[in-house]
Chains A and B, each alone.
Chain A
Amino acid sequence: MKKILKVNDLSVSFETYGTDVQAVRGVSFELEEKETLAIVGESGSGKSVTAYSIMRLIDMPPGKFDGGTILFNGEDLTLKSEKQMQEIRGKEISMIFQDPMTSLNPTMTIGKQISESLIKHQNMSKKQASSRGVELLKLVGIPNPETRINQYPHQYSGGMRQRAMIAIALACNPKILIADEPTTALDVTIQAQILELMRDLQEKTGTAIILITHDLGVVSSVASRVAVMYGGKIVETGNVDEIFYNPKHPYTWGLLGSMPKVDSKGEELLAIPGSPPDLADPPKGCPFVTRCPYAMKVCRNNMPEYTHLSDTQKTACWLLDERAPQVEIPETAIVGGYKQHV
């Protein structure tokens, strides 16, 4: 498989009131053609900032790149000018957002909003763009696309708006689609439909997807690989089976444990106690140390290196060091009822 995106040691910070908030601290990952990579983590873990950095949609200032590269087709996106980025956005890499209620322009018809990027990137005439728009709406499963295309966003339901957003994002057949919590604002049945649609379209178009989410249910149904982010770092990454059935990082355990189970009736939902670290003054060692039930002395001052557990899975945790005590994966974090030992 060809790698189309390589993010290397990316660091992004925001200057606010004299302090630098280091939202992303040395993140590296790769994206292969036609795959779906999920980036999971709680609010403030840096997952959205990572995604917006790839699109270069972070306002600079207050944001700034502190280092690292984002290689897309071998070219470093962090060095591109705004003009060059405009040629990439929407054409090579596009994005869909969390809330379809607010991410469409209320004063413009859906058709116009789809046409814009077609006219800009593919030099279509208005007429061509509009008929392509109808095709796209049909593709994302909107009934009566011929009439729907001339309607305004407020005439669409929430799920249909997200479909329309997907149509806009896929208009120019981008290589990469970044989906920033695309189902968070939708109700469960619509969520399932949108995920189904994304899977379906990926098969048809071959677009690689970066899915930003905090919903592990969503991850399991669409992603092929997962990166778990915490405190501006990727703490564990692996393919879906590895993350769900053989997780090694206590934070991943916590995430899996806090997911409600089908058979959990009337039990209290588990949460990870504590709150994420202050990234204006990030911890020297592992960012999870204050909330980790297995924290050791070494964790406080030294950030663990990645331990490569397989070709695909790597985890940054001192528990994997040979000198560390053997810890078993907690009961609550076991998915699907069977248990594997660390």
Chain B
Amino acid sequence: MARYLLKRIGYILVSLLFIITITFGLMKLAPGGPFTSERKTSPAIERQMQEAYGLNDPIHEQYFNYLISAAKFDFGPSFKYEGQEVTDIIKRSFPYSLLLGLEAIFIALAFGVLFGTIAAIRHNKASDYTVMVIAILGISVPSFVMATILQFIFSMKLSLLPIARFESFAHTILPAFALATTPLAFIARLMRSSMLEVLNADYIKTAKSKGLSERVVIYKHGLRNAILPVVSYLGPLVAGILTGSFIIEKIFGIPGLGREFVESVTNRDYTVIMGTTVFFSVLLLISILVVDLIYGWIDPRIKLANKGANS
């Protein structure tokens, strides 16, 4: 197990190196720079500023300097926000995205699995069709439409929940639901199809032939097998949601990481682009690793494959 983990962490480092290299290259290829702005700065000043930030060095030197400082967890200062380190920006904005993201993941998982299971058990009956209509709506309605609809109904018409900002738990409910809609619908569909498949499996017949009640058959024998596709979808989902959604954060006025990420790109804020990308990648790679570990815990056959890969 330890060997397996070490190996996986090694892969993560290699992947990170590739991600940094590609992002760095793309970023440098994009026209403009952090000090391009509508207001004309004199070429002398611009050159001086670029000199100060080391942007005049040869590109490979910049790249290696970045790699060395990144290895020391030093992502440099922001070019746009004076006196702020990239790590400060992430530290400041990530907790909002994290809290919101965890809520959204919980909602998506709980309701998605529940709806999918109900749809599968009531296959081709009214509740199945209802769930699937909701799921298709959830997948096809974009989150910003969903967000405004939720705001309109729950804040403006019913005055139940605050419309924007991030101050209390009540403030998180609407954005969390808006963020959860698409993954919820997706999980419901995944869950339904895999549950349908599992319910037709021979071992379900075996379980029934033991005289177990329908509930035990479905939850003890069915769910654990049927949830595997959902678990594998969870890896990228967790990373995607935790790093925040630019749109949702913009609509609800939440100072999260998603907003910083997108704005850093328009600003050509080189260090923030790199920092948030690396942060996002680390999150993604780690959640994929965690998902694989959970996978092995749910399905004992996978553990064996891991052992095989070790030797």
Residues of A within 8 A of B (CB): 55, 57, 82-83, 85-91, 94-95, 97-99, 102-108, 113, 116-117, 120-121, 152, 154, 165, 168-169
Q: Chain B residues near A104 (CB, 8 Å)?
A: 203, 206
| B-side contacts of A165, CB under 8 Å | 206
> Is B60's beta carbon under 8 Å from chain A?
no
CA distance A108 to B214 in the complex (A): 18
What are 25 contact pairs spanning A and B, CB under 8 A? A55-B209, A83-B213, A85-B211, A86-B211, A86-B212, A86-B213, A89-B208, A89-B211, A94-B210, A97-B202, A97-B205, A105-B206, A105-B221, A105-B225, A106-B203, A106-B299, A106-B301, A107-B300, A113-B206, A116-B207, A116-B210, A117-B210, A120-B212, A154-B304, A169-B209
| Chain B contact residue count (CB 8 A cutoff) | 21
Q: Are A103 and B205 in contact (CB under 8 A)?
A: yes
Closest CB of chain A to B195's CB: distance in Å? 14
With an 8 A cutoff between CB atoms, is B134 at the interface?
A: no
B296-308 near A? 1/0 per residue, CB < 8 Å: 0011110010000
Q: What 10 additional pairs, Cβ within 8 angstroms, besides A90-B211, A102-B202, A168-B210?
A: A85-B211, A89-B211, A97-B202, A98-B202, A103-B202, A105-B221, A106-B203, A106-B299, A107-B224, A169-B209
Whether A105 lies near B304 (C-beta < 8 A) is: no
Complex Cα gap A9–B225 (Å): 39
Question: Is B209 a contact of A94 with CB atoms below 8 Å?
Answer: yes
Q: Which of B202, B209, B211, B298 contacts A120 (CB 8 A)?
A: B211
Output the nearest chain A residue to B204 by Cβ-Cβ distance: A105
A94 to B210 CA separation, bound complex (whole angstroms):
7
A152–B224 Cα distance when bound, in Å, is 14
Taking the nearest CB of chain A, how far is it from the CB of B131, in angstroms?
20
B304: A residues at CB distance < 8 A = 154
Cross-chain contact B211 with A121 (CB below 8 angstroms): yes
Taking CB atoms, residues of chain A closer than 8 Å to B209 are: 55, 57, 89-90, 94-95, 169
Q: Closest B residue to A103 by CB, please name it.
A: B202
Which of B211, B212, B221, B224 has the most C-beta atoms of chain A within 10 angstroms of its own C-beta? B211
B294 in contact (CB, < 8 A): no
Among B201, B208, B224, B298, find the residue whose CB has the most chain A CB atoms closer than 10 A.
Answer: B208
- Cβ contacts under 8 Å, A90 to chain B: 209-212
The interface centre, meaning the residue of A82, A85, A108 with most chain B CB atoms within 10 A of its CB, is A108
Whether A88 pairs with B202 at a CB distance below 8 angstroms is no
User: With A86-B212, A107-B224, A117-B211 in contact, do A154 and B300 touch (Cβ < 8 Å)?
Assistant: yes
Closest Cβ of chain B to A112, distance in Å, is 9
Shortest beta-carbon distance, A221 to chain B, in Å?
A: 25
Q: Which residue of A lies closest to B213 (CB)?
A: A86
Find the A residue at minimum CB distance from B223.
A107
Give chain B interface residues in 197-241, CB to chain A under 8 Å: 201-203, 205-214, 221, 224-225
Give the complex CA separation of A86 and B214 in angstroms. Answer: 9
Closest B-chain residue to A100, C-beta based? B202
Residues of A within 8 A of B212 (CB): 86, 90, 116-117, 120
CB of A129 to closest CB in B, whole Å: 12
* A105, B211: Cβ atoms closer than 8 Å: no
- Closest-CB distance, A269 to chain B (whole angstroms): 29
Say which residue of B206, B214, B298 sits within 8 Å of A97 (CB atoms): B206
A165 to B212: give the CA distance in the assembly, Å.
Answer: 16
Cβ contact within 8 Å between B210 and A89: yes
Closest to B298 in A: A107
Q: Which residues of B contact A57 (CB under 8 A)?
A: 205, 208-209
Taking A106-B301, A107-B299 as contacts, is the C-beta distance between A99 and B202 under 8 angstroms? yes
Contact B203 A152 (CB under 8 A): no
Provide the bound-state CA to CA distance between A152 and B296, in Å.
Answer: 13
A102 touching B203, Cβ below 8 Å: yes
B177 to chain A, nearest CB (A): 32
Contact assessment for B213 and A154 in the assembled complex, using a CB-CB cutoff below 8 Å: no
Q: Residue among B298, B300, B301 with the most chain A CB within 10 A?
A: B300
Residues of A within 8 Å of B210, CB to CB, are 89-90, 94, 116-117, 120, 168
B170-211 contacts to A (CB < 8 Å): 201-203, 205-211
The distance in angstroms between the C-alpha atoms of A89 and B205, with both chains bound, is 11
In-complex Cβ contact of B207 among A83, A98, A105 (8 A): A105
